[in-house]
């Protein structure tokens, strides 16, 4: 399986506390990989580093077999091939339509082409009635849907997703999952999703990464999941612990 991202000897600390200590990790291309682990496992930090939003203290990252360059202009070009959906969405102080079209305009798209794409994604995410509204007029769930659509609209090669369904009801949660899965299937997009939901992992993931205390505990195909060497904390987190007598 072709790898889109690889890391070696990745280390990250904050105020002397190590939050990531990974000897190696590979992410398959064109599939959904779910990252799981207890609170404080380093999941969001890993997402931020792989999305080139934060520098590791040590280590090497390869993208499509090439090391990530140090030059900031080259890194910006790579970041424009990526998208990020955060747990706590933030929209710009402009209409929903303008929020959706912003990334396209920054990439040099013409006005007519932007409008057509915005209408397409507004229809996909059932946002048509919200296009003229501003962020302060939206509910939490509506804000999250706009954020997800805005991140997908420019069709990135890699999408990083940090627990996107916090503010979504069940129907909109499934809609977002369907949109992400559709982009993976239709375009070969790679998706890395942080979640605490074992059911969401089972529905979406081809691959699973398990982190605990900043270290890699398991990585591989979901259908080859091996748990025999896990400790009680990890087994309990994933709902695999034996019930107490």
User: What are the structural domain ranges in the chain?
Assistant: 3-237
Q: Are 201 and 34 in contact (CB under 8 A)?
A: yes
Q: Which CA distances in Å does 83 have to 12, 17, 36, 46, 245?
A: 22, 28, 20, 15, 47
* Both structure tokens of 192: 């890395």
Q: Are 38 and 233 in contact (CB under 8 A)?
A: yes
pLDDT at 240: 58
pLDDT at 46: 96
Please give the class, per CATH, of domain 3-237: alpha beta
* Both structure tokens of 194: 């942080």
Can you tell me which residue has the tokens 């299937």?
Answer: 185
pLDDT at 166: 66
Specify the pTM: 0.88
Mean pLDDT per 10-residue run, the chain (245 residues)?
93 94 96 92 94 94 92 90 86 96 94 96 93 94 90 94 76 82 91 88 91 91 78 71 44
Q: Are 115 and 65 in contact (CB under 8 A)?
A: no
The angle, 0 to 180 degrees and rounded to 10, between the axes of the packed helices 111-124 and 140-152 is 130
């Amino acid at each position: 399986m072709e790898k889109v991202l690889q890391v070696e000897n990745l280390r990250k600390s904050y105020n002397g506390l190590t939050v990531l200590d990974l000897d190696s990790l590979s992410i398959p291309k064109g599939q959904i990989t779910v990252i799981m682990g207890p609170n404080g496992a380093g999941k969001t930090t890993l997402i931020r580093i792989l999305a080139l939003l934060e520098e590791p203290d040590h280590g090497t990252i390869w993208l499509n077999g090439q090391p990530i360059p140090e030059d900031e202009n080259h890194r910006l070009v790579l970041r424009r091939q990526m998208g990020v959906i955060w747990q706590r969405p933030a929209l710009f102080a402009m209409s929903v339509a303008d929020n959706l079209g912003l990334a396209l305009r920054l990439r040099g798209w013409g006005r007519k082409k932007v409008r057509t794409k915005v209408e397409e994604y507004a229809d996909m995410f059932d946002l048509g009635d919200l296009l003229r509204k501003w962020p302060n007029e939206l509910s939490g769930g509506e804000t999250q849907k706009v954020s997800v659509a805005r991140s997908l609209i420019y069709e990135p090669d890699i999408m990083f997703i940090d627990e996107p369904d916090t503010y979504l009801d069940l129907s909109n949660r499934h809609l977002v999952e369907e949109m992400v899965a559709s982009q993976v299937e239709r375009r070969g997009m790679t998706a890395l999703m942080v979640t605490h939901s074992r059911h969401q992992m089972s529905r979406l993931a081809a691959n699973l990464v398990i982190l605990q205390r900043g270290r890699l505990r398991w990585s591989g195909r979901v259908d080859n999941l091996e748990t025999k060497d896990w400790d009680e904390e990890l087994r309990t987190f994933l709902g695999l612990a034996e019930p107490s007598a």
